[in-house]
Amino acid sequence: MTEYAEIEERHSSGGVARRPVVLVRGEGARLFDQEGREYLDLGGAHGWASLGHSHPAIVRAIAEQSARLIMQLESSYNDQRALWFADLAAVLREHLGQTDRGAITRIHPCNSGAEAVEAALKFARKATGRTKFVALLGGFHGRTLGALSATGTEQYRKPFEPLVPGFTHVAPDDVAALRAAVTEETAAVVLEIIQGEAGVRPLSAEFLRAARRRCDETGALLIIDEIQTGLGRTGRWFACEHFDLAPDVVVLGKALGGGIPMGAAAWREGLGKFDPGTHGSTFGGNPLACAASRAALRVIREESLPQKAAELGTWAMEELRSIDSPVVEEVRGRGLMIGIALKQPVTPILKELMSRGVWAIPAGRQVLRLLPPLTISRDDLERGLEIVKDVLEERR
């Protein structure tokens, strides 16, 4: 164990398991450890590295803004925050459209996806005057108490129960159970289009349409968690675009800051807004994060990253489905959000991939998850997938 690892082990809270490597640098789709060893990052830092590591546009935006003003509360106006509001609202309006509740142009800036979920839950209570929520088994929305209450995975919930009351969880794609659970007392339905932590499991179009209809019938809000799927990952700017699904509230994080911590909850104009003093965030919407996020949004648009994710993802899944190995059960996902379901634990495979210079991540105990940077080259992705195929085909 190196000096840096020993220090972290001595002082860390223990809540996060670590790999036995000290990463010190990143460039594009590559990571480098303390000894200078290179890893091809097919895990995308659990999704936040959609633009890769240290993208020049992000580095430039951070350097320029840090020389002007790093931090300023939302209690005053700020040029970068104002321009970020306008940039993100334009993206949301273009891709999530207009309904009778207006366009999604009200935005609460914060520091992470979990904080965005917390804001969305609070706003749903405020907007509807109701306190009950319906979410999905297998869903993952964060580790803070409100977000954890919406999360439908027992391993995350059980150690911290009792959680926030009023949450009901139904099975994904069970339309009858959803219709029974959502009533005139429901403030909102909370769901992911693709359940990432549950094994990269896409929801069916039928279920998503049923969720929208039931919310309309009962007056509940539809909150779509696009923390991992949003901003190009699935081949569209937002995963709900694949189904022409119109959320009332959308939550964002991970890729939003281009590598700087940032999250956002956004909702339709006609739903109103928080009363002053009822919600906020000390660092939310700080000028540095806003400058980085504005640069990230420009890169996503200028480099056509959603289209690139769609094309590379289609090709990558075809390649992975050709793997000749009895341990592979299924390849699923959309765009560059890919899950390889296995018939055995994924941890030994992750270790073997790491030994061969490929960094990948799990999604549950038996799913290998690939979330490569959307900026990755075809050559790099091809090289990485060849190593994945070799490792899996060696398993018998």
* Alpha carbons 296 and 300: distance in angstroms, whole number: 6
Active site (annotated) includes residue 225? yes
Identified catalytic residue from 140, 207, 238, 243: 140
3-state secondary structure the chain: CCHHHHHHHHHCCCCCCCCCCCEEEEEECEEEECCCCEEEECCHHHHCCCCCECCHHHHHHHHHHHCCCCCCCCCCCCHHHHHHHHHHHHHHHHHHCEECCEEEEEEEEECCHHHHHHHHHHHHHHHHCCCEEEEECCCCCCCCHHHHHHCCCHHHHHHHCCCCCCEEEECCCCHHHHHHHCCCCEEEEEEECEECCCCCEECCHHHHHHHHHHHHHHCCEEEEECCCCCCCCCCCCCHHHHHCCCCCEEEECHHHHECECCEEEEEEHHHCCCCCCCCCCCCCCCHHHHHHHHHHHHHHHHCCHHHHHHHHHHHHHHHHHCCCCCCEEEEEEECCEEEEEECCCCHHHHHHHHHCCEECEECCCCEEEECCCCCCCHHHHHHHHHHHHHHHHCCC
**Catalytic choice (41, 132, 207, 225):** 225
**Out of 87, 167, 254, 308, which one is annotated catalytic?**
254
Q: Examine the residue annotation and report whether 158 is marked as an active-site residue of this protein.
A: no
Residue 134: which of 214, 209, 244 has the closest Cα? 214
CA-nearest of 192, 172, 169 to 181 is: 169
- Paired sense of beta strands 249-252 and 328-334, if any: unpaired
| Annotation says 351 is catalytic | no
Catalytic residue annotation? 140, 225, 254
